[in-house]
Structure 1
Amino acid sequence: MGSLLSSSKSSDYANLVIDFDNVKPSSKEVEIYNQVQKILDQCPKVLGLINDYKDCTQLCSKAMSEPSQSSEEKAFSALLKSVKSVKVFYDFSNDLKKCVPVLLNELSKPAEETKQTLQDQQALVKQFANILDFVLMFDQIRMMRPHLSNDFSYYRRYLPKFARRPDIEVKADEASAMALFTARHCPMMVSLSSATAECLEQNRHVTNAMSAMANACLAMLKNKRFKSVDTNKYVARAMVGAVVLFDHVYPSGVFYKSPVDIKGIIKFLKKAEFDAVSLLATIRYSSKNFKHQTTPSSITDLFD
């Protein structure tokens, strides 16, 4: 099985079509496909929990300004429910970190015919797209839940006082490990990039998978390969996810002399027939190197 090896731009994928809606794994892909799918099956639950997350700001503020056994117990009881959701997010991110290297290593073996490789491994390419799609959606919702990290800080503060409660699932040691995760504004992308960076140390072709994914998605979107608006949005999210992930792990980032057609991607999103404002914001604010001095003004000016 080949790889997504490529340092070319989107024009090289002009005739490529990946059937994201109907592709099924081949016998060579099915083992890894199913392994990844077990993790992806949890995505609806995780997205539902972050979407429904209710902050505990008022109860915690009252417990701080009017401290009493009653006010603190009410705040802590509410925090227990919130922290239970955070634990689901944290555990999922760790599961994701375990499965991503397996998928990327399979997609990142050297090959001479990149386009044919993309065509031959469509099911695994789709799983990669599914991961990128989820990561973007989760982190976009997380950014709209700014009180989540404050809630967790309150939880850690009150935990010693209520440590004997039998309904506590997250003990002090685990809470310490989770603290950094809750503080990040794009925690899933950081987890994904961490796993990818470790994978890159063992396989130098890993960034080729991301650049090829971004460029191929752009080519298919520009050439109107998909009739459904939902599919176009899905492919655009996968494209942007690949851009941000590439920027997090590639030494010089995605904006400076990278194999990703970043200008083409930004220009496409600005004129897209669907609302792509949030995707442009993701490139700008979730990437690592957008504000770096090496980023050309010709790219930053596209956002003005």
Structure 2
Amino acid sequence: MGNFLSQLINKDHHDSNLPDVHLDFESTSPTDGDTESYSNVLQMLEPTADLLARLRAYEGCGEYIRQAIGDPSPETEALAWSHVKPAVDNLKMFYKYSVTIEGFLPQILEILCIGDVNKNLEKHQGLAKLLCKLLDFVFEFDSLKMKTPQIQNDFSYYRRCLSRGKLSNEVDLKSAMSEDELANQVSMFYAYPTPMLKTVTTVTTDFVSKHNVGRSVSECLSTLAGVCYSTVSNNKKKPQKPTTIAFCLRVMVIAIIIYDHIDPQGAFTKSSPINIKSSVKAIHSHGNSNDTPNLISALRYNTKHLNDSSTPKAVKTLMASCA
């Protein structure tokens, strides 16, 4: 399989479209004009480590729910509720953070994507790095969410409790109605396999439609993907920390996916500024054992144009062979 992949990748290997932009992912700081926006976005990103830790530690309430449903009694139902309630509090917290992203991402895109994109990225390197950190969080969150199928079951039981008036003794009617509306929104959020990616993709698509800046946003995303690829592929010449390599690969993949959703031609055509074959090679050559399968799966299942007739057969074969 390794030799086969190598043949597919090297058959059309070229890096001529790499951007002439450099980002120092390990020590970038804000410029003088960036201070306020950088500080605001940095503050917005502060909860991400805690959110990931909470999701990583999520155990689910399946055992208690099964007992409450299979042997219903005030005791079993109270025990189930005592576990479901704090679990759902975390799920609400994750959802509410996605709403926070919806508010901040357009501000970042406006600074980086209105006007000359390359100059913007050079001028606002600190903010560009924070955008990369946001995309990294998106990948990590969704990877963890996909490994936590208990979420759907726990939240379904919570909604069942709501419909039975479980909160009637805890809150007033107005609050109960508000809670039910929030539950609907949270349920829709978790209905997607990759809810954070869905959030940033939708926000970016809406931003493009509102400001008619599809070309600029596509250029920004392809440039970020290219910068990440360059950082990884030049690792021998300019050694990077393993954590930086892993970070760049995750950001590269999310940038490619969003690009593929907002660019009419997508990321897989021959005219695309993104070299998919080189990107896949970088993942296989430099990715760690934990991330590599998830990175390839993300490209296969979350992109929009992979199966289009305009996608070269060699690229389709390459992606299929990575299964």
TM-score by length of 2: 0.84
- Where in structure 2 are the equivalents of 1:37-186 lying within 5 Å? 37-111=42-116, 114=118, 116-161=119-164, 162-166=166-170, 171-186=179-194
CA-atom RMSD in angstroms: 2.3
What is the aligned counterpart of 2:207 among 183, 191, 199? Answer: 199
For residues 133-173 of structure 1, the C-alpha deviation after alignment (integer angstroms, 9 at most, x for no partner) is 10000000001001201211111011133122438998211
The answer to whether 1:255 aligns with 2:268 is: yes
Partner residue of 2:10? Answer: none
Structure 1 unaligned residues grouped into runs of 5+: 1-8
Report the Cα distance in structure 1 between the residues aligned to 2:27 and 2:318, rounded to whole angstroms. 35
- Contact 1:10-1:218 at 8 Å conserved across structures: no
Which residue identity does 2:186 align to in structure 1? M
- Contact 2:246-2:287 at 8 Å conserved across structures: no
For residues 79-136 of structure 1, the C-alpha deviation after alignment (integer angstroms, 9 at most, x for no partner) is 111110001101100001110010011111232x83x543332111101110111000
- Following superposition, the deviation at residue 11 of structure 1 comes to 3.3
Alignment CA distance shift 1:71-1:291 (3 Å): farther
Which SS does the other structure have where 1:163 is aligned? Answer: helix
Structure 2 unaligned residues grouped into runs of 5+: 1-13
- Following superposition, the deviation at residue 69 of structure 1 comes to 2.2
Matched residue count: 294
- Following superposition, the deviation at residue 198 of structure 1 comes to 1.1
- Contact 1:255-1:299 at 8 Å conserved across structures: yes
Q: Identity of aligned pairs, percent? A: 27
Q: Which has the higher mean CA deviation after the structures are superposed, 153-162 or 135-144? A: 153-162
- Contact 2:231-2:245 at 8 Å conserved across structures: no
Alignment CA distance shift 1:273-1:47 (3 Å): closer
The answer to whether 1:210 aligns with 2:209 is: no
- Following superposition, the deviation at residue 292 of structure 1 comes to 4.5
Report the Cα distance in structure 1 between the residues aligned to 2:71 and 2:305, rounded to whole angstroms. 44
- Contact 2:62-2:150 at 8 Å conserved across structures: yes
Report the Cα distance in structure 1 between the residues aligned to 2:260 and 2:50, rounded to whole angstroms. 28
Which SS does the other structure have where 1:255 is aligned? Answer: coil
- Contact 1:101-1:199 at 8 Å conserved across structures: yes
What is the aligned counterpart of 2:249 among 210, 216, 236? Answer: 236
